[in-house]
Amino acid sequence: MAKIRRDKVWRWRCQWSVVSLVAVALVVYNAAANMWLLSPAPCVGRSTTPPADLATCEPCADTAALPVDDDPIARLDLRLGRWDGSRSYRMFDYATVGDMYAEISANHRVCLATQSSIERLHELLRIAAHWSGPISVAVFVAGDELRLLRAFVTWLSRCRPEVYARMALHVATPVERPGLHGSMPIWARNCKVSPLPLRDRRADTVAWRARHPYPQNHLRNLARRNCHTPYVFLVDVDIVPSAGMADALDNFLAKTPKCPLCAYVVPTYELDKRVATFPANKSELLRLSRNKLAIPFHMKVFIYNQYASNFTRWESSGGNETLETHISHNVTNFELLYEPFYVAPDTVPAHDERFLGYGFTRNSQVYEMFLMGFQFKVLSPIFTIHWGLQARRTRPLWREKQNEKNRKHFETFKRELYARYRRDPLHLLRRPQQAKKT
């Protein structure tokens, strides 16, 4: 009896051991299989990408492997940018150039220069819809924003080749957070969707950008210095020219006597977002102005921004004037913080790159032009538009902090100008009022 019991126990132990071994083997097999199946396929770096950037390769699940010919900025070597004066930024002239940019520059008198960050790139399509001349664009990118810029330019070259063809694009990247090539999102080759680079930024890049000022003046200098026309029209990327302005300016400048110290001011208005279509002409813009749907740029935020342009005088014609671009009037009452958008030769002073972020970035340069003896002349009937009425209450606190910091730089800047030009700025600014009294 005892022997039978021992045999049963032995058989049970053997069976249990076999089952246990099989179970362990299955667990090990499943684990190995899962690791093999779930591991992502490695991204294959292009041979043209600098070796330092290969470590930034990202998972390929949501990206498109594009041929080099489809990626105009693929060959950009991030080690070869030129430094700014403070060695804080690297500049890359002509990161990509459209096929017609050189030819169009040779056939036009005015190049439109502008600057942008990643989140504003879509505004270029609005500008290009009305501007038929060459466009020089400087873009600021940090970290993974470079791959999103490449995606946008790839989309532009494939889906809007007529815009890309007359554009030169330049890149600035901070040394503290240099651009990374990485892999592009799949929308880069999809012409059925609008490019949306903002949604694909990494959280750490967004956080870094929030803590660091946007180098507007570096970008303005980068864009305008890479224009090849006799005149430059420098605007912000959200300022849209009226239709046909490039040809209108060409005709005007062809007939106007050369004036090395003249800057031709283009009036700028803010347009209520309820207005569905861009004003077709000056008469339509004035109708919107009478209905309070269009107001002079920055009128509610900072009136001195455009005040010296004398919009009242510009509007006095009621639109009943020649359609050819002409000088409406001269600026006779210059304001210290005046910052118009103007057309001028690129012999005007550079924008001082010590001003970072917002505040005193444009008016400091215009102020130096005034001390040099430039005469500002307001043009008509052409104009530019900023879509959306601005209000001081919508300005973020960080912008006011940057403005206050730049205000201190401006005091130093004024003293430097006085030493350079030996002209008393306060005396120059008092002169128009004294003339009126006498």
For 148-203, the pLDDT digits (tens) are 999 999 999 999 999 999 999 999 999 999 999 988 888 898 999 888 766 778 99
Nearest to 235 by CA among 111, 133, 372: 111
Nearest to 383 by CA among 181, 235, 216, 225: 235
What pLDDT, on a 0 to 100 scale, did the predictor assign at position 320? Answer: 85
What pLDDT, on a 0 to 100 scale, did the predictor assign at position 331? Answer: 97
N- to C-terminal Cα separation, the chain: 136
Q: Say what angle helices 363-372 and 397-421 make with each other, to 10 degrees.
A: 20
Number of alpha carbons in the 13 Å side-chain half-sphere of residue 393: 0
What SS3 string covers 161-219? HHHHCCEEEEEEEECCCCCCCCCCEHHHHCCCCCCCHHHHCCHHHHHHHHHCCCCHHHH
Q: 3-state DSSP call for residue 423?
A: coil
Query: Which residues make beta-bridge pairs with 263?
Result: 376
The residue whose two tokens read 């949306």 is 196
pLDDT < 50 positions in the chain: 33-34, 36-68, 431-438
**Cβ neighbour number for residue 327 with a 10 Å cutoff:** 14
Query: From CA 116, how far away is CA 114, in angstroms rounded?
Result: 7
What pLDDT, on a 0 to 100 scale, did the predictor assign at position 55? Answer: 38
DSSP code, position 40:
P
Q: Confirm if 170 and 223 have CB atoms less than 8 A apart.
A: yes
Torsion (CA) 307, 311, 313, 315 in degrees, nearest 10: -170
Which residue type does 216 have? Q
* pTM across the whole model: 0.81
* Cα four-point dihedral sign 73, 79, 83, 89: positive
